[in-house]
Amino acid sequence: MIARALAAAALAFAGLTCQAQSWAWDDGTVPFVVSPEEVVDRMLRIADIGPADYVIDLGSGDGRIVIGAARRGARALGIDIDPSLVERARNNAASAGVAERATFVAQDLFDTDLSKASVITMYLLPEVNLKLRPKLLSLAPGTRIVSHDWNMGDWEPDETIELRTPEKPVGLGGKSRVHLWIIPADARGRWVAELPEHGGRWEFDIGQQYQSVTVRATVGGGRDLTVRGTRLRGAEVKMVITGLVGGKPWNQFFRGTISGDRMAGEVLVSDGDQQRTIPWTATRRK
Ligand SMILES: C[S@@+](CC[C@H](N)C(=O)[O-])C[C@H]1O[C@@H](n2cnc3c(N)ncnc32)[C@H](O)[C@@H]1O
């Protein structure tokens, strides 16, 4: 039965289209297919993995992503449901000389505690990614998620690269995608900052879906400004806002970091002739 499920899931994987193979996927089964080494390298690079990281690869196969992360100095854990693959991955880590930093556990990825990871990597299936999504979204802001090929439905990646991978063992066309998501902080709500030296009271009304934010900004008791661009990346917020401040047209580039109900950073203000940087903090009003 398991062999049948794996065979059907492998067919679905090879088709690279989302067809209704639900009986093969509903049990969380994903076939063993390796990521080409070049894709592994891109996955590690897009997440900027280094010695400070703790990486968990969900469905670690022969261990190549975990071993690659350990080679970059990170501590890394591979989770695979197939004990023979866990055994193989441990041997590969020992041969690569990274067994101290690369560990492997045979268990279901859905039973795995992800809370300590700074990076999660995976090469699974679309349905499995979607099933994992709520758990991923509850991780600490700034945690990086990297997926080979499959996306997360309407949760757009922060970055995607595509590369030709003629050696890829599945699919047609010999291409791979690598997606990166950065778990966003909760930025929603009305934030108030006092900037006596530049406009007085600033208010930011922030709406949020995943890492995408919409901002309405007012200054000096109600004047609406133009929000030209925003970005939320982990806990880091950027907002570029233009308009009349104190009766003169100004450009403001706010950068800040969210920590609970406080946001703090610097704003670069410029009017074309002069510019200066002012520290700012905002608090969230309930
Ligand atoms: C497509 S392979 C990816 C292997 C490796 N991460 C790579 O990119 O080369 C998916 C792996 O997930 C494992 N797997 C499938 N379902 C799983 C589950 N529920 N829990 C843990 N591992 C699972 C399979 O045994 C297989 O090794």
Give the pLDDT confidence score for residue 7 in this predicted structure: 41
**Residue 228 domain boundaries:** 189-285
Same domain (yes/no): 131, 197 = no
Same domain (yes/no): 226, 119 = no
- Calculate how far, in angstroms, residue 66's C-alpha sits from the geometric centre of ligand 1: 12
- Calculate how far, in angstroms, residue 273's C-alpha sits from the geometric centre of ligand 1: 57
Q: Which among 278, 274, 258 has a CA at the least distance from the CA of 266?
A: 278
Q: What domain count does the chain have?
A: 2
Give the pLDDT confidence score for residue 10 in this predicted structure: 45
Same domain (yes/no): 12, 134 = yes
Q: Report which secondary-structure segment, H or E, holds 54.
A: strand 54-58
- Calculate how far, in angstroms, residue 34's C-alpha sits from the geometric centre of ligand 1: 9
Of 140, 165, 182, the residue at which a domain comes to its end is 182
Same domain (yes/no): 199, 254 = yes
Same domain (yes/no): 116, 145 = yes
Give the pLDDT confidence score for residue 29 in this predicted structure: 67
- Calculate how far, in angstroms, residue 172's C-alpha sits from the geometric centre of ligand 1: 21
Of 137, 160, 182, the residue at which a domain comes to its end is 182
Same domain (yes/no): 217, 146 = no
pTM, 2 dp:
0.90
Q: Which of 81, 105, 146 to mutate to test the pocket of ligand 1 (most atoms within 8 A of CB)?
A: 81
Give the pLDDT confidence score for residue 184 in this predicted structure: 98
- What is the C-alpha separation between 17 and 113, in angstroms, rounded? 30
- Calculate how far, in angstroms, residue 211's C-alpha sits from the geometric centre of ligand 1: 27
Closest ligand 1 atom to residue 27 Cα is: 19
Instruction: Name all residues whose Cβ lies below 6 A of ligand 1.
Output: 28-30, 32-35, 57, 59-61, 64-65, 79-82, 85, 108-109, 123, 148
Contact 143, 183 (CB under 8 A): yes
- What is the C-alpha separation between 176 and 127, in angstroms, rounded? 18
- What is the C-alpha separation between 99 and 149, in angstroms, rounded? 28
Same domain (yes/no): 113, 157 = yes
User: Domain holding 60: CATH number?
Assistant: 3.40.50.150
Closest ligand 1 atom to residue 30 Cα is: 15
| Cα atoms in the 13 Å half-sphere on the side-chain side of 96 | 24
Q: Which among 247, 285, 241, 243 has a CA at the least distance from the CA of 267?
A: 241
Of 153, 182, 211, the residue at which a domain comes to its end is 182
Give the pLDDT confidence score for residue 221 in this predicted structure: 80
User: Domain holding 251: CATH number?
Assistant: 2.40.128.120
Residue numbers of the chain with a pLDDT score lower than 70: 1-29, 172
| pLDDT, tens digit (0-9, with 9 covering 90-100), for 22-70 | 233 445 568 899 999 999 999 999 999 999 999 999 999 999 999 999 9
